Structures are given as C-alpha cells and as structure tokens.
Amino acid sequence: MSKSKLQPSEILDQIDELRQEVDEHFRDELVGEIYAQAHRVTQSTVKVLSKGPTWDQKLDWLLTHPIWGWPLMVLIFATVFWLTVTGANIPSAFLAGLLIEEGGLSSWGREYLNLDLPAGLSHSLYELLHMLFNGLHSPGWLTGLLLDGVYLCVAWVVSVMLPPMAIFFPLFTLLEDLGYLPRIAFNMDPMFKVTGAHGKQALTMAMGFGCNAAGVIACRIIDSPREKLIAIITNNFMICNGRFPTVIAIGAVLAATQAKGGFLGGSVAAFTVIAVVSLGVLLMFAVNYALSRTVLRGQSSTFTLELPPYRKPAILRIIYTSLIDRTLFVLARAVTVAAPAGVVIWLVANLSISGEPVGIYLVHLLNPLGWLMGLSGVILLAYIIAIPANEIVVPTIIMLIVLLSGTHGLELETGKMVETGTENLAKLLFAQGWTLQTCVCFLLFVLLHNPCGTTIWTIWKETHSLKWTALATLLPVAMGITICIIVANIWRLFS
C-alpha cells in the first residue's frame, strides 16, 4: 500500500477486498461480544435482593408458557364469548320487543320477568308507527318505504348488534388494558416465524379483531415491506366487530336449535364463536405461509417485544371508551348504512316486473350458486346488498325473508307468535329451509369474503397498489366460495 494520499474510493475498494475474508457469522459474533460484556458487567454491579419471582413474573410465566399459554388463551376468550352470547340474549329480546315485535314487550316480560306488563307496553314502536302512519292516511308505498324498509332495517341492526357489542367491547378493552394482548403476540410469535411473517402481525391482528381497516393501518408498525404486505392481505381473516354480531347471532341460533338454551346453549354459542375465530387464525397462518413461499418470498425478520407491566384497569375509562368510542361508533356506521340499505331491500321486494318482485328474480338467479355453496339465493343477495358494510348482513337476510315471503317478521308461516329475539331468528331461518349445514356454510362465508368497502379503501391507501388491493379483496372471497362448495357437497354426500 503506498503512503501517498489515496482517494476514498480507492481505499474503500481495498476495504471491500478485505471484507471478503470475514466469515458470514461476523454480525452474530459482534453482537455476541456486546451481550457477553453486558452480562459480565451486570453480574458484578446488579444485586437482586428479592425474595423470589414477583406475582407478575409468575403470571407471565403461566400466560406465556409454551404449553399452558395456549389453553389459557382459549379459556380466556371462551369466557369472554360465553359472557357475550348469554348476556346478549335478554337485552336483544328486550330491544326486539320494544322496537319490532307484535305485542311489544309483553312476551319479553312474561319470559324474563315472569309477570304481565301493563297494557301500555304491549305495542312495539313498529306497531305504533304503523298506527300513526295509517292515522295520517299516508300512501301505502310511503309507509312501506319508511317503515317496512328504513325503520325495520335500522331496528333490526340495533337489536341484533347493540347488545353483543355493548358486552364484548368492554370485555375486550379490559383484556387490552390489563396488558394481555402483547402476551398473545408473544405466544403466537413462533407461528408467525414458521409461516414467514412478522411477529408484530399478532398485534395488527388484534387490532383487526376490532376493525379490519384499523388493523390494516396498524400494519405500519411492521418495518419490512414484504411482511407488512402479508399482514395487510391477511388482516381480513380476523373477524371484525362488524361481523362479530353475525357470528354471535348464528351461534345463538345454533344454541337455540341444537341445545335448549341455558349454560349448555351458551357454551354451544361460545364454542361456535371460538371455532370461527380459530379457523380464521389458522387460515391466516396458511395464507401467510402460502404468500411467503410464492409472491412474497423471504425470511422473517427479528424484533423485540417488550411485555409491558400489568396495570390495574381503569374500569370507568374502559366502559366509557368501549361504549362511546367503539360501540356507538360502530353502531352509528351500521345505522347509516342500514337506512339506505332498507330502501334498497324494500324496493327489491316491492318493485315488480310482470307481477313478480325484482327480488324474486334475483334470488332465483343466485339460487344455483347459493345451493352449490350450501347457502341460498337470499343469503347471496343479502351479501351483495351489504357490500358497503358487513354489519347489516343478518338484518338484510331477515328483511329479505320477511318481505319476500309476505310476512313482516311478527308471524311465521305457522301463524304463531314467537317468544324471544334469538328463537324468533332461529325459527325464521329454519322455516326458510336453513339446516345445520346452512349455518356452517354461512359462518364460513362470513369469515371468508371480501373486506368491507372501508377496508378495501384503506388497503389501497396503505399500499398504493392496484395489484395488492385486488389480491387482498379477491383472495378471501375466492377462498370462501371454494371452501363453502367443498364443505357443502361433502356434507351432502354423507347425509
């Protein structure tokens, strides 16, 4: 090497040659030396005088245990779902009586309070509004559009969605506030690594539990663009709170038809919810794996996750934020979508072409695909109407059934009045030819279909890519159709 002044580029070329001689584990060794020295220094300077592990260390040992962590996680969530499903029954029936059912709250009073309520409560708001409109000599189409369309759809959304959300959100926020979510992320990290994704995806998934659009935005915490895309695409496999009430409602229907209510019924419903959520998580891992082996190939990057200390939950703040920020926010959005959807549904049921409502044509058109998927034309039509927001799928199905079959939801084909909200729904659906298989395929399709309009828009904003937005939108719906067809036809084969 000459001693004369060399240019930086020449020196750097020499350095580049030198670095070829260093072996590839260089970085590990470098970090290893730092760790070793930090260990030596702390050994001689830090004395732990404590009497053994503190309660939070013991709790962490249990909650993040490689074996016990998993059943505990399932148990915790099962409890939350069980409380939600069983707890939602009574207020759900109350709201249905108050807002929709013939006879108002009288049947609810007999069922849950064991007493006859005063006659003033024996009319639902729906009936009172009908009386008012008739008294004002409102034209039939206007009454139909406003009451049987807009009002009924909004009222169904409120009575089906409000109670489970008002119970589930505070419970979930409680888990969040206690500091349990990062422990879940810790438990799941090995799975993400195996499937070629980033461990922080667990946190974005937890956000997706609330809202997929929020979950997609949360993917910003993942640094590697490849793993971020995987997390964005698979966020839809987490049941958002728009779809939660649907799953809970079907869980309650199964509880009412497969078990006779009570603790067992609640367990059936809670198990249904757990099964759907777990399947969503499994499929998410499967898609992670598939993506990281095909279009988004690569290794998982490492990261550090600090388990924050357990905190005493601030109960009042939890109730406030979960009821105001989440429940009312989601409900307001659902109602906003439900009102125009009510108009569409009423028009579909009442506009006629040569004597038959448009809805009947559409249902007949969709019936073959619906049958193939183990669903029905009505369900698929409800899905198409509900594309702007998943929240209103069940109310839309109820409305379509009610309007297309000529009853307004108070009486069924037997002419008998039904007792409670859930049983009402169960009888209504099973009277339409629903079976256990329909419920299963329906749940699968609830889990596996395109993200809602807001989420698709958010994915576009986060990725700025037509390709990835299209993949994130079409992949789940394609999976949903395929899986429903397979399940329905295997089921038919064996029954």
Interface with other proteins (CB under 8 A), residue from 2, 9, 114, 294? 9
Angle formed by the axes of helices 262-293 and 181-194, nearest 10°: 40
Q: Any contact of residue 8 with other proteins (CB under 8 A)?
A: yes
Complex with other proteins: residue 39 or 260, whichever CB lies closer = 39
> How many CB atoms within 10 Å of residue 294?
8
> If 0-12 CB within 10 Å is exposed, 13-18 middle and 19+ buried, where does residue 178 land?
middle
**What is the Cα Rg of the chain in Å?**
28
How far apart are alpha carbons 273 and 253 in whole angstroms?
12
- Least distance from C-beta 102 to other proteins, angstroms? 50
φ/ψ (deg, to 5) at 356: -115, 135
Number of residues that this document lists for the chain: 495
Q: Is 4 in the site for other proteins (CB under 8 A)?
A: no
* Residue 283-312 contact track with other proteins, rule CB under 8 A, x = bound: ------------------xxxxxx-xx-x-
Q: Which is nearer to other proteins, 37 or 352 (CB)?
A: 37
Structure tokens at 348: 């579909």
Mark residues 53-72: x for contact with other proteins by CB under 8 A, - for none: -x------------------
Residue 387 CB, shortest distance to other proteins, in Å, is 32
Size of the site for other proteins (CB under 8 A): 48
Q: Which amino acid is at 218?
A: A
Q: How far apart are CA 201 and CA 289, in angstroms?
A: 13
Q: How far apart are CA 381 and CA 113, in angstroms?
A: 39
With contact defined as beta carbons under 8 Å apart, do 215 and 310 qualify? no
What distance separates the 2 farthest-apart alpha carbons in the chain?
Answer: 107
| 27 near other proteins (CB under 8 A) | yes
Q: Say how far apart CA 391 and CA 21 lie, in whole Å.
A: 61
Please, what is the minimum distance in Å from the beta carbon of residue 174 to other proteins? Answer: 16
Of 5-13, 236-244, 416-424, 427-435, the segment contacting other proteins by CB under 8 A is 5-13
Residues 6+ apart with CB under 8 A from 123: 103, 104, 131
Q: Does 36 bind other proteins (CB under 8 A)?
A: yes
Structure tokens at 190: 């090995």
What is the per-residue binding string for other proteins in 223-242, x denoting contact by CB under 8 A? x-------------------
Per-residue contact track with other proteins, 436 to 475, x per CB under 8 A? Answer: ----------------------------------------
Residue with smaller CB distance to other proteins, 35 or 371: 35
- If binding is defined by CB under 8 A, does position 415 make contact with other proteins? no
CB of 57 to other proteins, least distance (A): 10
Q: Is 311 or 464 the residue whose CB approaches other proteins more closely?
A: 311
| Shortest distance (Å) from residue 461 CB to other proteins | 17
* Nearest to 25, CA basis, from 15, 13, 14, 33: 33
Torsion sign across C-alpha atoms 71, 73, 77, 79? positive
Of the candidates 58, 220, 293, 461, which one interacts with other proteins according to CB under 8 A?
220
Burial class for 195, CB neighbours closer than 10 Å (0-12, 13-18, 19+): buried
Segment interacting with other proteins, rule: CB under 8 A, options 18-26, 124-132, 165-173, 347-355:
18-26
Minimum distance, C-beta of residue 42 to other proteins, in the bound complex (Å): 4
- Should residue 51 be labelled a site residue for other proteins when binding is judged by CB under 8 A? yes
Q: Using the rule CB under 8 A, is 314 a contact of other proteins?
A: no
Question: Taking a C-beta distance cutoff of 8 angstroms, is the pair 182, 305 a contact?
Answer: yes
Min separation Cβ 318 and other proteins, Å: 15
31 binds other proteins per the rule CB under 8 A: yes
Q: How far is the CB of 56 from other proteins (least distance, A)?
A: 10
Q: How far is the CB of 204 from other proteins (least distance, A)?
A: 12
Across the strands, what pairs with 357?
352
Instruction: Give CA torsion, residues 328, 330, 331, 335, to 10 deg.
Output: 140
Contact map string, positions 358 to 387, toward other proteins, x by CB under 8 A: ------------------------------
Q: In Å, how far are 86, 94, 249, 300 from 97, measured between CA atoms?
A: 18, 5, 17, 53
CA distance 205 to 433: 35
The region of 33-41, 95-103, 379-387, 437-445 touching other proteins under the rule CB under 8 A is: 33-41
The single residue among 2, 47, 464, 493 that binds other proteins, judged by CB under 8 A, is 47
Q: By CB under 8 A, tell whether 6 contacts other proteins.
A: yes
Q: How far is the CB of 48 from other proteins (least distance, A)?
A: 5
Sign of CA dihedral 483, 72, 166, 110: positive
Axis-axis angle for helices 69-99, 421-431 (nearest 10): 90
Residues in contact with other proteins by CB under 8 A are: 6, 8-9, 11-12, 14-15, 18-19, 21-23, 26-27, 29-39, 41-42, 44-51, 54, 220-221, 223, 301-306, 308-309, 311
